[in-house]
Structure 1
């Protein structure tokens, strides 16, 4: 499994990478634009990510914008909705507006509040068939 983590906080990047490292090949970037660039490059190289974890609050391009750009890249590549990369929003901004936007506009499969519970994250990945 390949996972891309997009979060501007280096501690969160390290924490999530350590949780997922034993189970996946993990790439991490610290901005929305870097996430979009990494995602696009991986898709062009035929080495797609199975999942992306995206923080909402980031300077410049926020997590919602980042996920919308990723979904645009997938559409432009001809991927259908059922073939989209699994997206999990990871944020302390867990109000109804942000949660709804993540699911209904971004197509996220899950929304996890920070601080992330490692067992909950791994459970979500298993629930959606991303971890054995």
Structure 2
């Protein structure tokens, strides 16, 4: 499984990488622009992301803008499958959560993140985390 972690916070990225390293090959992006570039390159290289953990508050295109870009790209390019997108935020705001689902995210995870929470939310989004052999 191929995952993209998008978070501008070093500790947040490091923690997600630690939790996910036994389950998938992970790339990271620290801004919205970088996330869009990584997403595009993954399709060009024919190795698209299965799951994207997308923080909402990131520089240069926020998480909602990135989500919108990805869903439009998938539609316009007739992608054979859609990446599972899990929005990540420190805010447990009902309006923000509703907005995320309206914009076609697959799940929403509120920080702080634990391994248990990550597994539950990933499974809810249709991304069961299974250990990989390296």
Q: Using structure 1 for the length normalisation, give the TM-score.
A: 0.91
The structural deviation recorded for 1:96 is: 1.2
Match of 1:95 among 82, 93, 112: 93
In the aligned structure 1, how far is the partner of 2:115 from the partner of 2:85?
17
Q: Which runs of 5+ in 1 are unaligned?
A: none
| Residue 18 (structure 1) aligns with | 18
The structural deviation recorded for 1:126 is: 3.2
In the aligned structure 2, how far is the partner of 1:59 from the partner of 1:109?
22
Q: Deviations over 1:94-117 (max 9, x none)?
A: 211110111111x11111101112
Q: Using structure 2 for the length normalisation, give the TM-score.
A: 0.89
| Residue 78 (structure 1) aligns with | 78
| Residue 42 (structure 2) aligns with | 42
SS in 2 for 1:112: strand
Q: What is the 5 A alignment of 1:112-123? A: 112-123=109-120
The structural deviation recorded for 1:129 is: 4.2
In the aligned structure 2, how far is the partner of 1:129 from the partner of 1:87?
10
Q: Deviations over 1:14-61 (max 9, x none)?
A: 100110001100001100110010001101211010000001111221
SS in 2 for 1:46: coil
Q: Which runs of 5+ in 2 are unaligned?
A: none
The structural deviation recorded for 1:68 is: 0.7
SS in 2 for 1:23: coil
Choose 45-54 or 119-128, whichever is displaced more.
119-128
In the aligned structure 2, how far is the partner of 1:131 from the partner of 1:7?
20
Structure 1 residue runs of 4+, over 4 Å off?
none
Give the alignment's Cα RMSD to 1 decimal. 1.4
> Judging changes above 3 Å, is the alpha-carbon distance between structure 1 residues 87 and 21 closer, same or farther for their aligned structure 2 residues?
same
Residue pair 2:36, 2:69 contacting (<8 A) in 1 also: yes
